[in-house]
Amino acid sequence: MAASSEKFDTIVGRTTTIQGNLMLLDSVRIDGRVVGNIEAAPDCKIAVAIGPTGEVTGDIKAHRVMVAGKVFGHIHAVDRVEFQKDSCVQGDVSYGSIAVEHGANLSGLIIQNKTLDVSASGAQAAIQSAQSTQNTR
């Protein structure tokens, strides 16, 4: 993976397999295998990095997700998701912003979170404007 300013308090080594869900309070780097969902506390800016030898079979929910290995499951990145060259993802991805290197393999829906929020608030503002215009007549 490219150099990053992220600090990883937990590292799952390349010879380690974890079976079960991970509930995170700190950022994690996975170079081994996780069979289960990975979920960060919603109010924490926690990063999940899947190294080139890492593999996750399960869903990932975190502030930021970086993938250089394999993910078989859905990814929900509140802020940003990054896919490195040779990464492989089979599942839907929702994100705030995205970076995809040439050679990444993505199979699933790719949905931007902020677009939905902006569209919804824009639609709500338009409805309120129309209602207020109607009430002044």
Express each pLDDT in 13-50 by its tens digit.
999 999 999 999 999 999 999 999 999 988 889 999 99
Where residue 2 falls among pLDDT bands split at 50, 70, 90?
very low
Residue 104, token pair as written in the block:
């990444």
C-alpha 126/C-alpha 137 separation (Å) is 17
Q: Is 108 left (phi over 0), alpha (psi -120 to 50) or beta?
A: left
Give the count of beta carbons closer than 10 Å to the beta carbon of residue 56. Answer: 29
**Residue 120 pLDDT greater than 60, yes or no:** no
**Residue 114 pLDDT greater than 90, yes or no:** no
Collapsing DSSP to helix, strand or coil, 135 comes out as helix
Give the count of beta carbons closer than 10 Å to the beta carbon of residue 129. Answer: 10
Q: What is the pLDDT of residues 73-82, one digit of tens each?
A: 999 999 999 9
**What's the pLDDT at 3?**
44
Indicate the pTM of the whole model.
0.79
Where residue 67 falls among pLDDT bands split at 50, 70, 90?
very high
Residue boundaries of the structural domains of the chain: 10-112
Q: What would the DSSP string read from start to end of 69-134?
A: SEEES-EEEEEEEEE-TT-EEES-EEESEEEE-TT-EEES-EEEHHHHHHHHHHHHHHHHHHHHHH
Q: What is the pLDDT of residues 68-111, one digit of tens each?
A: 999 999 999 999 999 999 999 999 999 999 999 999 999 999 99
